[in-house]
Structure 1
Amino acid sequence: MELTSVTTPVGTSEKVEVESEKKAEVVEAPEDEREPSSVILFWLCCVSALEGLDTQLVPACQYALQRDLGLQLGHFAVLTTVQMVLTNLAAPFWGILADRGTLKKKTILTLGAVGEGLAVTIFAFVPNFYVMILLRGMSGFFLASLRPVCNGLIADLTSDNKRGKIFGRVQSALLCGMFCSLLIAGNVANPHVGSIPGWRFLFAGAGLVAFIVAGGLAGFLVEPAHQLDEASKMKGCAAIRTELCTVLSFLRIPTFCVMIMQGVFGTIPWSVMGNNLLFFKFCGLQDWEASILAAEGTVAGVFGNIAGGMIADALARRFGYHGRPLSAQITVAIGIPMVFLQFYGIPPGSGSFGAYFALIAGFGLLGSWAQSGTNFPILSDIVPPSDRSKVMAWECAMENSLANAIGPGLVSTLAVAFGYRFGSEEMEGQSLSSARALGSAMAATICIPWLITLLAYTLLHWSYPRDMKRLKAKQAAQAEAKAAHEEEMCI
Structure 2
Amino acid sequence: MTSSTSKAMEMKEASALQKRRGGSARAARGLLYLVTAIQGLCNQLLPSSFKVLESNLGLTPASLGMIAMAQAFFQSIAGPVWASLVDRGMSRKFVLVAGCMGWGLIAILLGCIGQLHIILLLRCLNGVALASLGPVAQSLVADITEPEQVGLVFGLLQFSMALGQGICATVLTSFSEERLSLGSIHLHGWQASFIGVGGLSILVAVAVVFFMAEFRNEEQENESSTSAQGAISEIRKEFTLLFSYFTIPSFLVILVQGMFGCIPWTAMSFLTMWFQYIGMSNAASGVLITMQIFASGVGGIVGGIVGDVLARSWSPFRGRPLAAQVSILSGLVLISWIFIKVPKTPDSFSAYAWLNILFGLTATWAGVACNQVVLLEVVTPNNRARISALLNCLNGAVAAVLGGPVVGFLAEMYGYRSPAKGTSISDLSKAERVSNLDALTTALLQASVPPWILTLACFSFLYWTYEKDVDKTRKEKAASTL
- Deviation string for 1:179-207 (max 9, x for gaps)? 21223323555432411425454334323
Is the CA contact (8 Å cut-off) linking 1:277 and 1:290 kept in structure 2?
A: yes
Give, in angstroms, the shift of residue 270 of structure 1.
Answer: 1.0
Is the CA contact (8 Å cut-off) linking 2:300 and 2:361 kept in structure 1?
A: yes
Match of 1:171? 158
* Matched residue type, 1:246: L
| 2:406 pairs with one of 405, 410, 413 | 410
Distance 1:154 1:328 in 2: 27
Is the CA contact (8 Å cut-off) linking 2:105 and 2:198 kept in structure 1?
A: yes
Matched, 1:24 2:25: no
Give secondary structure in 2 for the equivalent of 1:192: strand
Give the stretch that moved more between structures: 236-245 or 37-46: 37-46
| 1:473 pairs with one of 468, 472, 475 | 475
| 2:350 pairs with one of 345, 348, 354 | 354
Distance 2:326 2:112 in 1: 47
Match of 2:449? 447
Give secondary structure in 2 for the equivalent of 1:23: helix
Give secondary structure in 2 for the equivalent of 1:103: coil
Is the CA contact (8 Å cut-off) linking 1:57 and 1:181 kept in structure 2?
A: yes
Match of 1:271? 266
Matched, 1:245 2:240: yes
Distance 1:449 1:157, change over 3 A: farther
Give, in angstroms, the shift of residue 246 of structure 1.
Answer: 1.9
Give the stretch that moved more between structures: 324-333 or 166-175: 166-175
Give, in angstroms, the shift of residue 430 of structure 1.
Answer: 8.4
* Matched residue type, 1:260: L
* Matched residue type, 2:261: G
Distance 1:400 1:153, change over 3 A: same
Task: Structure 2 unaligned segments of length 5 or more: list them.
Answer: 1-16, 420-424
Matched, 1:256 2:251: yes
Distance 1:430 1:468 in 2: 56
Match of 1:295? 290
Match of 1:15? none
Match of 1:324? 320
Match of 1:180? 167
* Matched residue type, 1:336: L
Give secondary structure in 2 for the equivalent of 1:476: helix
Distance 1:366 1:79, change over 3 A: closer
Question: Aligned residues, how many?
Answer: 449
* Matched residue type, 1:273: M
Distance 1:177 1:50 in 2: 6
Give the stretch that moved more between structures: 357-366 or 88-97: 88-97
Match of 2:14? none
Match of 1:86? 74
Distance 1:394 1:209, change over 3 A: farther
Give, in angstroms, the shift of residue 158 of structure 1.
Answer: 9.3
Distance 1:281 1:200 in 2: 19
Matched, 1:379 2:341: no
Matched, 1:51 2:39: yes
Is the CA contact (8 Å cut-off) linking 2:65 and 2:404 kept in structure 1?
A: no
Task: Structure 1 unaligned segments of length 5 or more: list them.
Answer: 1-19, 27-36, 481-491
Is the CA contact (8 Å cut-off) linking 1:120 and 1:206 kept in structure 2?
A: yes
Is the CA contact (8 Å cut-off) linking 1:51 and 1:177 kept in structure 2?
A: yes
Match of 1:202? 193
Alpha-carbon RMSD: 4.1
Give, in angstroms, the shift of residue 75 of structure 1.
Answer: 5.6
* Matched residue type, 2:400: N
Distance 1:439 1:41, change over 3 A: same
- Deviation string for 1:236-279 (max 9, x for gaps)? 43233222112102222222222211211111101211333343
- Deviation string for 1:420-472 (max 9, x for gaps)? 56689999668445444433332232122112212222323333333333333
Give secondary structure in 1 for the equivalent of 2:46: helix
Give, in angstroms, the shift of residue 339 of structure 1.
Answer: 0.8
Distance 2:402 2:259 in 1: 9
Give, in angstroms, the shift of residue 367 of structure 1.
Answer: 1.5
Give, in angstroms, the shift of residue 370 of structure 1.
Answer: 2.3
Q: Percent identity, please.
A: 28
Distance 1:97 1:364 in 2: 35
Provide the TM-score with structure 2 as the length reference.
Answer: 0.76
